[in-house]
Amino acid sequence: MTDHPSQPIAFKAETHQLLDILIHSLYTEREIFLRELISNASDALTRLDFELLTNRDLLDPDLPLAIRVIPDPQQGTLTIEDTGIGMTSAELIENLGTIAHSGARAFFQAVKESGKSAADLIGQFGVGFYSAFMVAEWIRVTSRSYRLDASAASWYCTGADTYTIEPAERAQRGTTVVIKLKEEAAEFLEERRLSEIIRKHSDFVPYPIYLAGQEEQINRQTALWRQPPRQVEQQDYDEFYQQLTLDFEPPLAHLHLVVDAPVQMYALLYIPVKAERGIFGLRKEDGLKLYARKVLIQEYNRDLLPEYLWFVQGIVDSEDIPLNVSRESVQASRVIAQLKKLITSKTIETLKKLGQDDPDKYARFWEEYSHFIKQGVAIEQIEPEALYPLLRFHTTVETARWLSLDEYVQAMPPDQEQIYYILGDDERSVLYSPHLDPVRKRSYAVLLMTDPLDSFMLTRLKEYAGHPILNIASAEFEPLALDEPEQAAPALAPDESATLIERFKSHLGDRLSDVRMTDRLSDSPARLVDPAGAPQQELQRVYRLLNRELEVPKKVLELNPRHPILLHLSSLPAGDPRLPLVIEQVYEDALLIEGLHPDPASMIERIQKLIEAAIQPPVETRPDD
């Protein structure tokens, strides 16, 4: 239908300016117009449904509540039709002649005064209606009010300065929006494309949506997240997760929230088994699906969870989310901040419960997502302590099982006041670290920190449950008293110690800041430590991982005066060729175990010489003839 009345009505000046912005600037995806028109139709049906609660004396009271989307490729038009509350000619002018003014305002006031719920009502028409001009040459809206004495009317506009109103013929209650599509918008005449858009944006609109002449509704309609959790079976949760992600492996856990205060919210969140998204998965980016009253607002919203929880998949739906003039953009507001705080705390609680109720399943979670949680501890500014119970570690006592800090503390012997840890590059090699000598023969467990992120995490993780967390390699670690066998073991005399120290200093030169004896070693001949005033080991590793310069003083080499290697080394004469080989090897072994050796392969030739010297047969002496 291309003819229209000859008595145009001018838009208000500011309305025309806003219309120009809406058409040319506001919406980034043209398909949004269909979401907006379907949402408007849904609102009209909701208002009619509310009216039917108290009034049956209206037009077509038994007419089914539904929405129809009808493409006409021959005419180049797309029609969106509803059987909702309808509008009179005056309401068409009020609702469509003034942008951002909705006839639903009076309705909201009536609901408020009646004391009934106003859920799912967002107004008959808002500015979203005008997004259709992104794809339209002209739009005609024909409507008939639910009131028995009302007549049908038609509103027509080309997106210019004026619109027209005229009487119309319409037998049934409701509204029909006909859009004459621009040539470049022909994709919206394809049923496949329309079906895709409806399922993406309007799948959970609470009324059936029919496409073209089909009698089978295209939207699922039932929003699982809005159902009471006690009425939802585990199978329903798993099936919904598959539909949401196309991941056919059940999630590790789910969280179903229905909250009325401090903000109104429905949420259904999942923890996938794998952190990496499959190539055939539906979710291509991080972020939650954000709905406002069951209408999709954002496909990937990253404002509702902190970055370290972006692996969570699911849906958040709220009646309280404030919107900008376009539903594509959610305002940064106190409501969003409240939602984020609530969702974050509930997600962390769910993970804590999973760790308590199903340690094996939580171990799978930890092995897949540990770097996210450690990142959270490092960067969370408000309450990083909330994440501490989620941490898991291998220890020198439990090398195969993941332990929580609570389990570590519970297993501490009565005389242990601190939680010990050791840094390294690999769990298998760090178990041989000389820094473990003081606790190796005792019942103290030491947390193995070998993940690159551990150093970042430890810049914040300083204490747990009143117990300081201490690096066993640091100067703050107080040496434990030697047991009787260690005290009874042979040891270098003071003068022998001084001579051996001088030999190490003479050979190693300025590669070290000092060489000294220590009583902290039992099984190892030597270890490297930082001199007083040096940056903490955690900070050194952070800078090294970031490839940033950090001036670190040369290490101190500490020697074990009771170790057999050093006892034998002390007895070698000054000119023995094995002396420099052993000194060099003891030093480079200490470098290697600290992860500081620049070229481990360079040790091979020296090791071979030491082996050769060790297995060389003694020189035979012949008796005098």
- What does the pLDDT look like over 259-315, one tens digit per residue? 998 889 999 999 999 988 776 677 888 899 998 877 788 888 999 999 999 999 999
Q: What pLDDT, on a 0 to 100 scale, did the predictor assign at position 53?
A: 81
Q: What pLDDT, on a 0 to 100 scale, did the predictor assign at position 593?
A: 87
Band (pLDDT 50/70/90 cuts) for residue 253 is very high
% of the chain at pLDDT higher than 70? 86
C-alpha 2/C-alpha 188 separation (Å) is: 19
Q: Find residue 529's DSSP bridge partners.
A: 556
Per DSSP, 565 falls in state H
C-alpha 461/C-alpha 379 separation (Å) is: 11
More confident call, 382 vs 449? 449
More confident call, 486 vs 335? 335
Residue among 159, 122, 123 nearest 139 (CA): 159
Q: What pLDDT, on a 0 to 100 scale, did the predictor assign at position 523?
A: 87
Q: CB–CB of 410/339 below 8 Å?
A: no
Which pair of structure tokens corresponds to residue 11?
């838009």
Q: Coil, strand or helix: which one is 562? A: coil
When mean pLDDT is compared across 363-377, 472-486, 557-571, the lowest value belongs to 472-486
Q: CB–CB of 516/556 below 8 Å?
A: yes
Q: CB–CB of 339/306 below 8 Å?
A: no
Which pair of structure tokens corresponds to residue 515?
């060489």
Element housing 364 (H / E):
helix 359-379
Per DSSP, 124 falls in state S
Q: What pLDDT, on a 0 to 100 scale, did the predictor assign at position 106?
A: 42
Q: What pLDDT, on a 0 to 100 scale, did the predictor assign at position 94?
A: 84
Q: CB–CB of 207/67 below 8 Å?
A: yes
- What does the pLDDT look like over 559-571, one tens digit per residue? 999 999 999 999 9
- Kindly tell me if the per-residue pLDDT of 163 is higher than 50: yes
% of the chain at pLDDT higher than 90? 52
- CA-based Rg of the chain, rounded to a whole angstrom? 37
C-alpha 300/C-alpha 584 separation (Å) is: 58
Q: CB–CB of 328/300 below 8 Å?
A: no
Considering the entire predicted model, what is its pTM?
0.71
Q: Coil, strand or helix: which one is 313? A: strand
Once rounded to an integer, what is the mean pLDDT over residues 472-492? Answer: 73
When mean pLDDT is compared across 145-159, 204-218, 405-419, the lowest value belongs to 204-218
Residue among 554, 555, 590, 573 nearest 503 (CA): 573
How open is the CA angle 429-430-435, to the nearest 5 degrees? 135
Element housing 258 (H / E):
strand 253-259
Q: What pLDDT, on a 0 to 100 scale, did the predictor assign at position 159?
A: 79
Q: How far is CA 542 from the centre of its chain?
A: 23
Band (pLDDT 50/70/90 cuts) for residue 622 is low
First to last CA, the chain: 133
Element housing 268 (H / E):
strand 265-271
C-alpha 490/C-alpha 527 separation (Å) is: 20
Q: CB–CB of 422/435 below 8 Å?
A: yes
Which pair of structure tokens corresponds to residue 18?
């806003």
Band (pLDDT 50/70/90 cuts) for residue 335 is confident
C-alpha 162/C-alpha 93 separation (Å) is: 12
Q: What pLDDT, on a 0 to 100 scale, did the predictor assign at position 594?
A: 85
Q: What pLDDT, on a 0 to 100 scale, did the predictor assign at position 211?
A: 94
- What does the pLDDT look like over 79-112, one tens digit per residue? 999 999 999 999 998 888 765 444 334 433 444 4
- What does the pLDDT look like over 383-398, one tens digit per residue? 899 999 999 999 999 9
Q: CB–CB of 459/546 below 8 Å?
A: no
Phi, psi of 575 (to 5 degrees): -95, 5
Q: What is the mean pLDDT of the chain?
A: 85
Q: What pLDDT, on a 0 to 100 scale, did the predictor assign at position 85?
A: 95
DSSP3 helix / strand / coil % (the chain, rounded to 5): 40, 15, 45
Domains and CATH numbers, the chain: 9-211 (3.30.565.10), 224-357 (3.30.230.80), 362-471 (3.40.50.11260), 490-533+551-615 (1.20.120.790)
